[in-house]
Amino acid sequence: MNHTRQKIFGRRSRDLLASAWVLQYQARLWLAGRLCALRPGKPFEHVEPERVLVVIAGLLGDSIMSSPVIVEARRLLPNAEITLLGMQHNCDLFAACPLIDSFHTVTAIPFTLRGRADVRRLLAWLRSRSFDVALIILGDQFSVVLKRAGIPVRIGVRGSPLASCLTHSYDIGSPRTWGPPERLQALSVLGLSVASPAPRLWVADSARASARNKLRELDLDERQRYVAVHPFGSNPRQWWSIDRVEDIARSLSQRGFRVLVIGGRETRGVVPDRLRQTATDTTGAFTLQELLAVIEGASIVITTDSGPFHMAGALGRPTVGLFRASRPEHADLYSTAKVVMESHADCAGCRWNRCQASPCRQMAALTSTRVLAAIEPLIATACA
């Protein structure tokens, strides 16, 4: 068997295993939803909540788009104790938010094949806290646990396989196109008059200080302007070309900017040696809160449609977003972001959230010339 056939066989095997996992997962969700429907909860009385649980357990970008729920929950329920329940990265993302009273980090998501003991500990903790209301913003899988914990008001997404475990539900429309207004309906269903604040983030002074120390170690003077470039994404197929990052870095260096290539731990070691001649590789160097501080201090942020795009937008930084034409839904979400996107004739067979080609044809068609043209007005403003 030659190398090409081995790759094809390996990919098909992984696809079959992934499909089998998805099928068992969906079946377990459906069964749990049916059992909830057979065991309806007790009727509840409307009371002013004293303890509110906000569940945000999802991707970084989705979590940031859900931040208006936190802002409005605090405004509309000023006397309530608000607790955020999420995975480690969700809690780290909002760690500096002054509107949240406490955090609880989950180490396992319900219905995963592992971590049952962790879910049992979560159930015991929920019962001990006596929450009045639970708002499920991201993490429909928690519906069953919240019902078993006896939380009287449980609000989640309409149409979820576990919707029968809820007392109230809200509609987000298409999973592809939802944004902050749809998630804010989690509060509207309680009869509250909800405003529409923009997504926002908070940065701790301690994170700013530690990020500055790390930048000093990279010989970046505090007075020097820098551009943060994030060419990565949730799937390597959707990354932007490192070769084109090199073009961007060379041009910006000639204009007096330091270029920082940013990315999570999973991207460590990806940046080639040749790029380090014109840019500084910081992949995996910062904690999530420190990364927020680095983005906050950047003159310009250049990023794919990923978590750092939403970070930069929520922090109000001048941003150039690198988008696929098949995924334009959040291109206009932030007033400080200018988006460039590219299409490709051969992408008709790709699903909206999955590329058949590696790298993505649309991302590969996005040239450094187009990106530099989009950067130019931002450079003029930064240098003014």
| Residue 182, strand partner residues | none
Locate the DSSP E strands across 278-366. 280-281, 300-304, 319-324, 337-342
pLDDT band at 359 (very low <50, low <70, confident <90, very high): confident
1 vs 297 pLDDT, higher one: 297
Q: What pLDDT is recorded for position 100?
A: 98
Q: What pLDDT is recorded for position 239?
A: 92
Decide if 195 contacts 185 (C-beta within 8 A). no
What distance in Å separates the CA atoms of residue 174 and residue 41, rounded to the nearest whole number?
28
CA distances from 215 to 42, 199, 221, 297, 377 (A): 56, 27, 8, 11, 26
Q: What pLDDT is recorded for position 70?
A: 98
The tokens of 32 are what? 């749990």
**Cross-sheet strand order for the sheet of 319-324:** 280-281, 258-261, 226-230, 300-304, 319-324, 337-342
Locate the DSSP E strands across 282-348. 300-304, 319-324, 337-342
HEC secondary structure over 2-69: CHHHHHHHHHHHHHHHHHHHHHHHHHHHHHHHHHHHHCCCCCCCCCCCCEEEEEECCCHHHHHHCHHH
- Among 25-29, 145-149, 323-327, which is the least confidently predicted range? 25-29
Domain 205-383 architecture = 3-Layer(aba) Sandwich (3.40)
**How big is the chain, counted in residues?**
384
Amino acid at 305: D
Q: Is 357 exposed, middle or buried (0-12, 13-18, 19+ CB in 10 A)?
A: middle
What distance in Å separates the CA atoms of residue 259 and residue 89, rounded to the nearest whole number?
26
Would the pLDDT of 173 be above 60? yes
Question: How do the domains of the chain map onto residue ranges?
Answer: 34-188, 205-383
Multiple choice CATH, 34-188, 3.40.50.2000, 3.40.50.720, 3.30.565.10, 3.30.450.40: 3.40.50.2000
Would the pLDDT of 366 be above 70? yes
Q: What pLDDT is recorded for position 349?
A: 64
Please indicate whether the domains covering 34-188 and 205-383 agree at the CATH topology level: yes
Residue 67 CB neighbour total at 10 angstroms = 25
Would the pLDDT of 261 be above 70? yes
Would the pLDDT of 114 be above 90? no
